[in-house]
Amino acid sequence: MKRKQLGRTGLMVTENSFGALPIQRIDKQSAVELLHMAYDGGINYYDTARAYTDSEEKLGEAFHDRREKIVISTKSQGKTKEQVLADLDTSLKQLRTDYVDILQLHNIPAVPDLEDENSPYYALVEAKKQGKCRFIGVTSHRRNVAEQAVKTGLYDTLQFPVSHISPQADLIQLCAENDVGFIAMKALSGGLITCAQAAYAFFQQFPNAVPIWGIQKKEELQQFLDCAAQGITLTPELEQVIEKDRKELAGNFCRGCGYCMPCRE
């Protein structure tokens, strides 16, 4: 499977990578089998979070004996330095490892205040100093916050919702210009997109954007493994699928930014 470089981290991660939020919905044995299938299929990057209930525990069960062969990122929703570091210690215990490759601040509503010594940003700095993470990043559902974070030059990666019905090509380009690794969450738009070939082909246009497919079933995983094996590219036929999806689905996709709240309807 082809790999892409996550910006300045130098990490080479597979073009199909694994978003581990959905595995919290299945039992441990099924999750481990699914993760091993992904690993055997060549996938080397797995993204999780402290907030994803037992997702980290399942990753730890699956990969504790092959930790050096994979890339793991996790996230903390902590609002202070102390909370983020406490979350990280819990994550490391659940993942059965002594470090994560990328530690991310989870869905930040604003870029952390550098004037505040208790800011969660300084937890990332401290975790890296202690060797508990190799690189640092942020995830956000808010476009303006994502742009601001990239422009600070402080973060190695950005995770943001991107799919072929919400392309965000200029944000991907901004990350490329700043050597920030781009991790694409919601690459299937929360399940709205059902054509794996079109979803896969869309990301072939962006050498610096890595989708983390939210996978819960073996048949879902197999579709993306097949796309890689077949070398699927963006054909006129798949462009038509993408255009149809954009016309029918674009207005239904929720990035989770919260801008519409409180709901006036």
Decide: residue 109, CB within 10 A, 0-12 exposed, 13-18 middle, 19+ buried.
exposed
Q: How far is CA 30 from the centre of its chain?
A: 22
Phi-psi region of 190 (alpha: psi -120 to 50; beta: other; left: phi over 0): left
Give the pLDDT of residue 257. 61
Average pLDDT (181-189) is 96
Cα dihedral 128/151/6/159 (nearest 10) = 90
Q: For residue 263, what pLDDT band results from cuts at 50, 70 and 90?
A: confident
Average pLDDT, the chain: 95
Average pLDDT (5-29) is 97
Q: Using one digit for the tens of pLDDT, what is the confidence trace for 47-79?
A: 999 999 999 999 999 999 999 999 999 999 999
Return the SS3 of 13: strand
Tokens of 246: 């954009």
Among residues 250, 260, 150, which one has the least CA distance to residue 208? 150
Task: Report which secondary-structure segment, H or E, holds 29.
Answer: helix 28-40
Q: Using one digit for the tens of pLDDT, what is the confidence trace for 220-260?
A: 999 999 999 999 999 999 999 999 999 998 777 666 666 66
Q: Are 203 and 209 in contact (CB under 8 A)?
A: yes
Give the pLDDT of residue 264. 72
CA dist 88 and 5 (Å) reads 25
User: In this model, does residue 15 exceed pLDDT 90?
Assistant: yes
> Whole-model pTM above 0.75?
yes
User: In this model, does residue 261 exceed pLDDT 80?
Assistant: no
DSSP calls for 192-255? T---HHHHHHHHTT-TTEEEEEE--SHHHHHHHHHHHHHT----HHHHHHHHHHHHHHGGG---
Percent share of the chain, pLDDT over 70: 97
